[in-house]
Chains A and B, each alone.
With several copies, the nearest count.
Chain A
């Protein structure tokens, strides 16, 4: 039997010990009318060879295209050592380290993770990870409402330049607790959030201001000014950051005069494969003052009975299994394996390696934008510095281009019009350290060809882009 070790003799002897005749008899407390007649709609089991073949065929269907999509998930190189170690049974098949003495591997690793994340963000402390970047932002919002002792308001200012799916997720997760999310518009020329656009939203007080860096358009926000403005008005500053970008960009803890109070973001760029969107992990760091308001698992260093250092879960009094309805969150799972991967990933890259990765992403994105804007009719939409991503306006509908490039195994980018109707025909493109000159040139050439074809007289349905025909 797959995964069940019992022999017939075992079953017989065990039933005897229990004092029943059949396994079915063990279910005799279940009302008879409830007993199901089995799972008849399911198909028969496959052995590992059979399911392996099916899965190989399906994985092959999804292909291995050249990926120029970012939009919150980034195609980075992950050292082979990372997942070879992470999938070791001792990490892979262990549970939450409730028995600290038998879990020093996981616990020390999380302590190292917390150190790396806190330092990367320029903040004091970090938790052991959350589900993903979007839900981490929701937890940060809830945390800010709990933590802000100056302003008891439940209003949160959240710029439109924050990842749209993050805003939707935050909405889902906090709406039932009477928290109001106030969207801050962006400057149409620069694609960033001006301090001036915050002023009119001030009226009723606010618990926190969310500040993305880079923002969803890849643009760099004026984080110092935004942070100082938040603090000046009694709000906490919540940073939403890309951890690879932090190798180049000022860490949240140094934003403005006092630094952001809470930082969170998507950890995927640190060693998690794209994997259709998950599992990833959310990270969260904050100032020491707010540590007891932080959700999620936290590992602390302590001593054993002989005075040797060791590690254990701590601050459990915040958590649901102790505090139940008064917990800081209902979270009990973190993304342990992903945090482990990130820790090993960062250890393998080190500060200089991560800096080079960020530098290469930046340079390649520059080269990509330069190449694509050489194609007739393709324009940059926002002026100003970027990291990783840039918004381009195409002379034809984006979907046509995405489909045509997809057929060439090039993923062109993320179409913006659904989330930002004002950005019709706009696409968000991204390059990482994996996308060198040759890939970029291939994208450029395909784009040229596709636009030429779509400009042709046969495509009468398309609006002719300005300056052509």
Chain B
């Protein structure tokens, strides 16, 4: 039942409303609202009960295994939440003076900038992008600003591997570039020969994830970097998969010029049903002048904001204030809790979990498109055999997994692999949980063989059965409307 269906005209939640104010009759009538908006009129108990019960209809990390590939659904420490919600942080206005009312939060942000530089091997950092995609935007915009600043205005293309996240090409277009796709070779790496053929004076840069979304580490990355750099282009690193290499390899050492990080992935800030995230960017020295503002600096005496006035070449501002500071505080707390040793452990255990899970699923007879490669923090599995033999698709497997109390992996991405799952267990899951996933996958394949209907009509145990997406798109219903009064 929707909250609106529990509403009754005239119900009023007295504990949450200020006393009635004098009428605002200095505001001219033609600027004033006439009818009231369709907000629900419910009691505090009704609201609390409604949203508490709604919450129970979600799968989440706190309640289920959630091996969503490329999303790094690892444990979001409750301590990070508690510290970020201290009254002094929550109550601080973005324009509160830095000197008298900001040194606490700015110390955290400054140190986070330093840590992100260190883990990526880059020279400078701006925390301000509000999500991964905005970090990507900032990265490509800086590449463009760099070419522009050199007067090199011939560069019109961004190269993107065909396995890339959809945000990569979309971002390139937002920055005014044309996108050229680079194919993948049979081993899962970028096809270097194809790359060689397409680079040229029109190449602004390349956007790469390494390890790629195919769950493998591109072994020829140094060669790729050399090719692109020699053609005058720059290299952008999509940090979505940074969890796989934290403490093992630094993007800076691979030759990247700019990196964005997803703190809601690598630094375990809450995924929040789809946000908020934060997408800090770190760059090599040559891109430093172009970083988005504001940033935090320390002048030896105190922390202060770096703004456009002292960074005239900055690509500019990306939000009204300084991005998602509350998210960054959580990332800071997490990073400090891990520390040196903890951070070095992340990639190791994430990779161990992925390789173990892959090995066990392989032993159970599931097919891997790149069977000879190591898994990184994630791996791709294809159900094309099951689809063909039993008529049961990856989507059906995904829905049936829900009945086994496990969130489904990312399905049908990367686009190159048919009927695929992209599976990322993360380092915070136990071996028992991975074993339970293998058992569920094996059980579902048995069901697919013996009783495919139970799989193709799944899920059966959730608040709703399988939903009709086509109807949703065709007969758009995006807002509730009151029943017309008879």
Do residues B276 and A336 form an inter-chain contact, with CB atoms below 8 A?
Answer: yes
Collect the chain A residues with CB atoms within 8 Å of residue B37's CB. 116, 119-120, 122, 246-247, 251, 351, 354
C-alpha gap A169/B321 in the complex (Å)? 10
- A67 interfacial contact with B, CB 8 Å: yes
Instruction: State which of B121, B273, B471 has its C-beta within 8 Å of the C-beta of A97.
Output: B273
C-alpha gap A49/B79 in the complex (Å)? 9
Minimum C-beta distance from B97 to chain A (A): 5
Q: Mark A116-138, 1 if CB is under 8 A from B, else 0.
A: 10111010111011011111000
Do residues B273 and A320 form an inter-chain contact, with CB atoms below 8 A?
Answer: no
Do residues A55 and B86 form an inter-chain contact, with CB atoms below 8 A?
Answer: yes
Q: Name the residue of chain A whose CB is nearest to the CB of B60.
A: A94
- B91 interfacial contact with A, CB 8 Å: yes
- B484 interfacial contact with A, CB 8 Å: no
Binds B, one of A307-315, A446-454, A458-466: A307-315
Do residues A81 and B48 form an inter-chain contact, with CB atoms below 8 A?
Answer: yes
Q: Mark B227-260, 1 if CB is under 8 A from A, else 0.
A: 0000000000000000001011110011000000
Which one of A38, A59, A112, A358 has the highest number of Cβ atoms from chain B below 10 Å of its Cβ? A59
- B485 interfacial contact with A, CB 8 Å: no
Q: Mark A309-339, 1 if CB is under 8 A from B, else 0.
A: 0111011110111111111011111111110
Instruction: State which of B101, B141, B171, B316 has its C-beta within 8 Å of the C-beta of A63.
Output: B101
Collect the chain A residues with CB atoms within 8 Å of residue B102's CB. 62, 276
- B134 interfacial contact with A, CB 8 Å: yes
Do residues A101 and B402 form an inter-chain contact, with CB atoms below 8 A?
Answer: yes
Do residues A359 and B23 form an inter-chain contact, with CB atoms below 8 A?
Answer: yes
Minimum C-beta distance from A317 to chain B (A): 7
Do residues B78 and A84 form an inter-chain contact, with CB atoms below 8 A?
Answer: yes
Closest 6 CB pairs of A and B: A277-B321, A45-B339, A89-B62, A59-B88, A277-B94, A359-B21
Classify chain B: how many residues form its interface, as a range: 35 or more
Do residues A88 and B55 form an inter-chain contact, with CB atoms below 8 A?
Answer: yes
Collect the chain B residues with CB atoms within 8 Å of residue A298's CB. 478
Given contacts A1-B342, A77-B18, A330-B170, 17 further A-B contacts (CB under 8 A): A4-B349, A52-B83, A55-B89, A62-B96, A93-B76, A99-B59, A101-B464, A102-B407, A246-B37, A250-B30, A278-B276, A299-B478, A305-B466, A332-B166, A336-B271, A350-B13, A352-B36
Minimum C-beta distance from B274 to chain A (A): 4
Do residues A314 and B219 form an inter-chain contact, with CB atoms below 8 A?
Answer: no
Do residues A101 and B96 form an inter-chain contact, with CB atoms below 8 A?
Answer: no
Which one of A35, A131, A168 has the highest number of Cβ atoms from chain B below 10 Å of its Cβ? A131
- B108 interfacial contact with A, CB 8 Å: yes
- A232 interfacial contact with B, CB 8 Å: no
Collect the chain B residues with CB atoms within 8 Å of residue A31's CB. 219, 221-222
C-alpha gap A277/B128 in the complex (Å)? 11
- A186 interfacial contact with B, CB 8 Å: no
C-alpha gap A133/B317 in the complex (Å)? 13
Do residues B276 and A349 form an inter-chain contact, with CB atoms below 8 A?
Answer: no
Q: Name the residue of chain B whose CB is nearest to the CB of A169.
A: B317
Q: Mark B290-318, 1 if CB is under 8 A from A, else 0.
A: 00100000000000000010000001111
Instruction: State which of B13, B42, B96, B351 has its C-beta within 8 Å of the C-beta of A27.
Output: B351
